[in-house]
């Protein structure tokens, strides 16, 4: 009996950990004067949502967080912007709120290269995704965008 329960637990754990309702793509768009926009795009499966970088005071969700690797050839211009249809969710039963996205959201960081150089924009994104019944554990995705 213990072996059957252990097998079921392992199967369910693998099924949940294998589930990945968010697909990330990382691209750049060259602008004038050595500037670039870095697009960190999340495509979200139907029925799932991804949290914004900024959450209301009563939120319990972990915000999406970007960590950018320091590069002496790159100057950050402002903060990571969000482009998408933000949904302001409020759960009346549990009395908490969340800022979230469904389907797709672009996170955009503007940068300036310090000279005519080839380099990379590197970092990671940590995020949590949920549907109406469950949340998956936080996940971290590393990225690298070539700048020419």
DSSP string for residues in 25-79: EEEEEE-GGGEEEEEEEEEE-TT-EEE-SS--TT--SPPPEEEEPP-TTEEEEEE
Q: What is the pLDDT of residue 15?
A: 46
Q: What is the pLDDT of residue 56?
A: 93
Q: Percentage of the chain with pLDDT > 90?
A: 77
CA distances from 91 to 52, 96, 133, 146 (A): 17, 5, 13, 41
> Which tens digits make up the pLDDT trace of 45-100?
999 999 999 999 988 889 999 999 999 999 999 999 999 999 999 988 878 899 99
Q: What is the pLDDT of residue 12?
A: 42
Residue carrying structure tokens 């790159």: 74
Residue carrying structure tokens 């990330």: 24
- Going along the chain from its start, the domains and CATH numbers come out as 21-147 (2.60.40.1250)
> Sheet holding 129-130: strands in order across?
87-91, 96-101, 49-51, 129-130
Report the half-sphere exposure of 148 (CA within 13 A, side-chain side): 1
């Amino acid at each position: 009996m213990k072996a059957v329960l252990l097998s079921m637990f392992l199967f369910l754990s693998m099924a949940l950990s294998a589930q990945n309702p968010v697909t990330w793509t990382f691209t750049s768009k060259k602008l004038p004067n050595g500037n670039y926009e870095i697009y960190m795009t999340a495509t979200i499966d139907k029925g799932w949502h991804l949290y914004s970088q900024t959450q209301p005071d009563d939120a319990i969700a972990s915000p999406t967080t970007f960590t950018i690797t320091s590069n002496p050839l790159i100057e950050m211009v402002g903060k990571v912007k969000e482009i998408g249809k933000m949904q302001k969710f409020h759960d009346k039963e549990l009395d908490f709120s969340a800022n979230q996205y469904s389907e797709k959201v672009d996170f955009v960081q503007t940068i300036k290269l310090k000279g005519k150089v080839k380099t990379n924009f590197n970092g990671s994104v940590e995020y949590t995704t949920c549907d109406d019944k469950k949340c998956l554990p936080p996940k971290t995705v590393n990225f690298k965008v070539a700048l020419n």
